[in-house]
Amino acid sequence: MELSYCVVNTNGRDFLLECLRSIRRTRPQGIESEVLVLDNASDDGSAEAVEAEFPEVRVIRRDRRAGLAENNSLIMREAKGRLCLLLNEDSELTDGAVTELLAALQRDAGAAVAGAQLLDPDRNPIPCAWRFPGLATVTAQALLLHRRLVTQSDGGDGPPRKVGWVQSCTMLVRHQVAESVGYLDPDFFVYSEEVDFQKRIHDAGWRILHVPRARAIHHEQLATDRSGGARRRIVQFHRGRDLYMQKHHSEPVVLLSRILWAASYVPRAIAALFMRDGDPGTYWLHARQALMPNQGEGMREAAEAYNLARSADAATESSGQVPDRSSSRAAAS
């Protein structure tokens, strides 16, 4: 088996179906491949919808909700392909994207990862490749020079090029290399898990490629969701970024990075005060979490609460009572 499409989904049924339709539409001819979907204990009928429309897809159902790092590792362990294309449920492949990613790794035997150029839903390029986090990149962000000095994807066309790390929502990985570094670290849950994964791959002597001609639409359902879960995502984002720094840098660098990252949000918060639709509160929350990343409840705690509520519902059903479904839904937010 040459290629395994590996899609992880959490309550993203409509996005997931569009992702699978794009796989079917853009699947290269003459490449032996399989499609796997790991359903992360969704309660929106995702798994059933996939089985009804895509009987050829293998659906792996989880009965407890876990983080993206754990789920991507699990689905890769189940995959048979020599190469694994990791996809979020809200990723949509465009024509030729997979062919370009495959060609990039075929041409460069020293590369283990190839990431697509991501587009927003209006098909405008968005940043998707960066230098690895360190004191220099943190300083660049504090000086508001992040896009110029840290971002390595410019949205243009051109051949594959070496970068630090690429966003994992459309990322092709050599399966054997992923296995050799122990897959993704589940301590991250979500956010910075792919940075740590690619850092370990890089440290093992492999290259990471950004492939501008491989294009995929990223609908970014989490980033555009302004419901009550937004606060948890901010907490989880800074927790993951800080964990990465702790794994790969000294304690003084970690502490200085927290200060610099927090400081970088202050001018944004002040500027938001004078903007018509500004949201200074969100920037102040970012600043606080950057400085104190272990405070607050993140997405991991939400998943744990959801799992407890599901277990309670199952126990109630087995006893013949009617479960309170609202508790499970509230725990998931």
pLDDT, one tens digit per residue, over 164-215 is 999 999 999 999 999 999 999 999 999 999 999 999 999 999 999 999 999 9
For residue 321, the model assigns a pLDDT of 61
For residue 333, the model assigns a pLDDT of 45
Q: Which residue has the higher pLDDT, 315 or 76?
A: 76
Q: Which residue has the tokens 């918060």?
A: 269
For residue 320, the model assigns a pLDDT of 65
Domains identified in the chain and CATH numbers: 3-223 (3.90.550.10), 226-291 (no CATH)
pLDDT (average), residues 207-226 = 82
Does residue 247 register a pLDDT over 70?
yes
Could you count the other beta carbons within 10 Å of the beta carbon of residue 36? Answer: 20
For residue 319, the model assigns a pLDDT of 67
Separation in Å, CA 326 to CA 11, 269, 330:
16, 35, 6
For residue 323, the model assigns a pLDDT of 56
For residue 331, the model assigns a pLDDT of 47
Beta-strand runs (E) in the chain? 3-9, 33-39, 58-61, 83-88, 91-93, 111-119, 129-130, 161-163, 165-166, 170-174, 207-218
Does residue 322 register a pLDDT over 70?
no
Q: How far apart are CA 109 and CA 113, in angstroms?
A: 11
Does residue 275 register a pLDDT over 60?
yes
Does residue 227 register a pLDDT over 70?
no
Q: How far apart are CA 194 and CA 273, in angstroms?
A: 34
For residue 6 the two structure tokens come to: 């590996």
- pTM of this prediction? 0.91
Q: pLDDT digit string (tens) for 121-131?
A: 999 999 999 99
State how beta strands 91-93 and 83-88 pair: unpaired
Q: pLDDT digit string (tens) for 286-320?
A: 999 999 999 999 999 999 999 999 888 777 777 66
pLDDT (average), residues 38-59 = 97
Q: Which residue has the higher pLDDT, 226 or 106?
A: 106
Mean pLDDT for the chain overall: 93
pLDDT (average), residues 2-14 = 97
Q: pLDDT digit string (tens) for 102-120?
A: 999 999 999 999 999 999 9
Q: How far apart are CA 260 and CA 243, in angstroms?
A: 16
Query: Predicted confidence band at 324 (pLDDT cuts at 50, 70, 90)?
Result: low
Q: How far apart are CA 302 and CA 185, in angstroms?
A: 19
